[in-house]
A and B are shown apart, each in its own frame.
Chain A
Amino acid sequence: MKEMNKVIFFGNSPSFKELHQYIRKQNLKSSLELGGLTALENYKEEGIDLFVIDLALPKEEAYLILDGLYKDFHFSECKVVVCISHRSQLKRFRSFAFGVHDYMSPLIEKEEFLSKIKSLIHPDKNTIQMKWDKQVTIQFEANLTHISESGCLMETKAKFHEGAECTLNCTLFHDIGSHQDILGSASFSTPSPTRLFVNQIDFKNMGDSYRDSLRKLIWKWKDV
């Protein structure tokens, strides 16, 4: 007979406890821990399928549990979903860094929660996929902060690979009469204190007349 799946809950808020109660009734073996990194010790020897952790635990305890989970369970053997009590992107990203597989709101519908748990425990059952082996173009917005006639610096959440090509389009290029995308090549990238990357992009296909216009425009800024 197949062993029942085991889910461990770490949290103590009322809505979180309700979710645990619901899961217990769904033929899923589960335990509720009110917090404490030491409680993690009890599960080291057990085959755990899923941890559900409430990030609202006090004193960053949730992150310590996540860190402990990473070290003791290596996350390859179990899945982790975190419960985020408000719309905090930062908390979400921070928890993703610990290898968390998914997140949810404590106000999630119980049926949706059950479906999420099942899809995490048996991902292949609920995920439909197909091989799609091709190059595609993606588009995103960056912040151009510095410019010269030969290149620019732009901030974004992507650290560009050295030598990688990209195309740029912004109002500044329209101002100098260029209405086509400017082809660029990444030549340097470094992290900034604002958790973004500063990427240096060298212009590759900017004609001499546009370059000249850009130079004049930049010199005007000097006078401002």
Chain B
Amino acid sequence: MIALAWLEDSESRQEFEAYFKQKNKNFDLSFFDSSEGLYLKARELRPHCILIELGAKNSLVVFNLVRDLRHLLGMLPLIIILGSPKDSELLMHSVTTGANFFLSPPIDLMFLDSQLTRFSNQDGHFSPFKFRRVPSGGIAVQTKTQIHLNTLTNRGIWFHSKHLLAKGFIFNFQLSLGAPLENFDLTMRVISNDLSEEGHRYFAEYFELSEETRKRITYLIKTSS
């Protein structure tokens, strides 16, 4: 299998070189110093794994590269972003532009191992023998899941979720507020995401909310607290 890496930090280079040589011998790892070099090689070799370090690079270049690689190579290559935990917002965004996941130092090699092993079996997951394509290309499916709501404001809500929700993700939920309870069917849009100790933390604003409802919610928040 082929792995390509664009890493700035020489320690990271050594660490991954040693890892792929000693532990994951199936992978043939090559290093690059530019996004163009990596992209051209990826087009030629169709790699199975790509490592990109955010570091001091222009994050725009990294996002564009991830997006282009995903577009070029489809779903199968494992794209991993490396970066400092202080760049959590950028790291999360890299996943929404096409990376599979991100890692921060100290690199959890056991986790990496498990992901690479899983990736090796990925073909089985999407095998046409396992799933059949829906004739019309797709069917709308109403999906429900749980989030943990933390704070309610007149602008939107703060909440935690185990899922990674991209900015712009739109969802509905019913808010019961006040006494006697008043029910509001609200549409929300995620506008910020970040990492916290409890997991992914989000702020979602009210989306296309009428001024009247906003005023009512503001009043109920004021009087409830």
State how many angstroms separate the Cβ of B193 from the closest Cβ of chain A. Answer: 9
User: For window 208-224 of chain A, which residues contact chain B by CB distance below 8 Å?
Assistant: 218, 221-222, 224
Tell whether, in the assembled complex, residue B191 and residue A96 are in contact, meaning their CB atoms are under 8 Å apart. yes
Which listed segment binds B: A18-26, A46-54, A189-197? A189-197
User: For window 75-115 of chain A, which residues contact chain B by CB distance below 8 Å?
Assistant: 89, 92-93, 96-99, 101
Tell whether, in the assembled complex, residue B60 and residue A63 are in contact, meaning their CB atoms are under 8 Å apart. yes
* A73 contact set on B, CB distance < 8 A: none
Chosen A-B contacts, 29 in total, with CB atoms closer than 8 Å, are: A67-B59, A70-B59, A92-B168, A93-B166, A96-B192, A97-B90, A128-B218, A130-B151, A130-B224, A134-B148, A135-B146, A137-B146, A141-B142, A143-B141, A152-B131, A154-B141, A156-B143, A157-B165, A160-B145, A166-B145, A167-B145, A168-B143, A169-B142, A181-B144, A193-B70, A193-B98, A200-B125, A221-B133, A222-B132
Tell whether, in the assembled complex, residue A143 and residue B140 are in contact, meaning their CB atoms are under 8 Å apart. yes
* A160 contact set on B, CB distance < 8 A: 145, 163
Asked if A161 lies at the interface with its beta carbon under 8 angstroms from chain B, I say: yes
State how many angstroms separate the Cβ of A102 from the closest Cβ of chain B. Answer: 8
User: For window 150-172 of chain A, which residues contact chain B by CB distance below 8 Å?
Assistant: 151-161, 164-172
User: For window 162-207 of chain A, which residues contact chain B by CB distance below 8 Å?
Assistant: 164-172, 181, 188, 190-193, 195, 197-198, 200
Tell me how many residues of A have a C-beta within 8 Å of chain B.
71
Asked if A57 lies at the interface with its beta carbon under 8 angstroms from chain B, I say: no
Tell whether, in the assembled complex, residue A158 and residue B150 are in contact, meaning their CB atoms are under 8 Å apart. no
Tell whether, in the assembled complex, residue B151 and residue A132 are in contact, meaning their CB atoms are under 8 Å apart. yes
* A222 contact set on B, CB distance < 8 A: 132
CB-CB under 8 A for A158 and B59, given A70-B90, A188-B125: no
Tell whether, in the assembled complex, residue B63 and residue A145 are in contact, meaning their CB atoms are under 8 Å apart. no
Interface residues of A (CB under 8 A from B): 60, 63-64, 67, 70-71, 74, 89, 92-93, 96-99, 101, 127-148, 151-161, 164-172, 181, 188, 190-193, 195, 197-198, 200, 218, 221-222, 224
* B98 contact set on A, CB distance < 8 A: 191, 193, 195
Instruction: Type the 1/0 row for B47-58, where 1 means its CB is closer than 8 Å to any CB of A.
Output: 000000000101
Q: Which B residue's beta carbon lies closest to that of A74?
A: B86
Q: Determine which of A97, A130, A170 lies in contact with B152 in the assembled complex, contact meaning CB atoms within 8 Å.
A: A130
Which listed segment binds A: B10-18, B24-32, B170-178? B170-178
**A159 vs B161: C-alpha distance in the bound complex, in angstroms?**
11
Question: On chain B, which size bracket covers the interface?
Answer: 35 or more
CB-CB under 8 A for A195 and B173, given A133-B149, A147-B132, A164-B145: no
State how many angstroms separate the Cβ of A203 from the closest Cβ of chain B. Answer: 12
Q: Determine which of A64, A74, A141, A181 lies in contact with B60 in the assembled complex, contact meaning CB atoms within 8 Å.
A: A64
**A169 vs B71: C-alpha distance in the bound complex, in angstroms?**
30
**A203 vs B172: C-alpha distance in the bound complex, in angstroms?**
23
Tell me the dominant secondary structure on chain B's binding face: mixed
Q: Which B residue's beta carbon lies closest to that of A134?
A: B149
CB-CB under 8 A for A136 and B173, given A67-B58, A129-B221, A164-B145: yes
* B157 contact set on A, CB distance < 8 A: 132
Q: Which A residue's beta carbon lies closest to that of B186?
A: A138
* A191 contact set on B, CB distance < 8 A: 70, 75, 79, 95-96, 98-100
* A156 contact set on B, CB distance < 8 A: 143
State how many angstroms separate the Cβ of B206 from the closest Cβ of chain A. Answer: 13
Q: Determine which of A97, A130, A152 lies in contact with B63 in the assembled complex, contact meaning CB atoms within 8 Å.
A: A97
* B134 contact set on A, CB distance < 8 A: 144-147, 172, 221
**A138 vs B157: C-alpha distance in the bound complex, in angstroms?**
13
* A170 contact set on B, CB distance < 8 A: 139-142
Tell whether, in the assembled complex, residue A141 and residue B143 are in contact, meaning their CB atoms are under 8 Å apart. yes
Q: Which B residue's beta carbon lies closest to that of A182?
A: B141
State how many angstroms separate the Cβ of A16 from the closest Cβ of chain B. Answer: 22
CB-CB under 8 A for A128 and B222, given A96-B167, A97-B93: yes
10 interchain residue pairs of minimum CB distance = A161-B162, A146-B131, A130-B225, A159-B164, A170-B141, A129-B153, A97-B93, A143-B138, A140-B171, A166-B145
